Copies of this chain bind each other. A is one copy, B any other.
Amino acid sequence: MGNTATRRREFRFRLDPGTGIPVYRQIMDQVTAAIASGMLAPGDQLPTVRQLAVDLSVNPNTVIRAYRELEIRGILDTQQGSGTFISRKEIRRDELDHGRLLDQFVADVLARAGSAGFSAAEVAARLREFATGNPQQEEQ
Binding site for B on A (CB under 8 A): 12-14, 16, 19-22, 25, 28-39, 59, 69, 72-73, 75, 81, 91, 93, 100-128, 130-132, 136-139
Contact = CB atoms under 8 A, between A and B. Distances in A.
A62 B136 CA distance: 35
Total copies of the chain: 4
A93 B139 CA distance: 15
Nearest to A71: B18
A20 to B, nearest CB: 4
5 contacts: A16-B112, A30-B116, A102-B123, A106-B126, A124-B127
Contacts of A73: 72, 115
Contacts of A116: 30, 33-34, 37, 101, 105
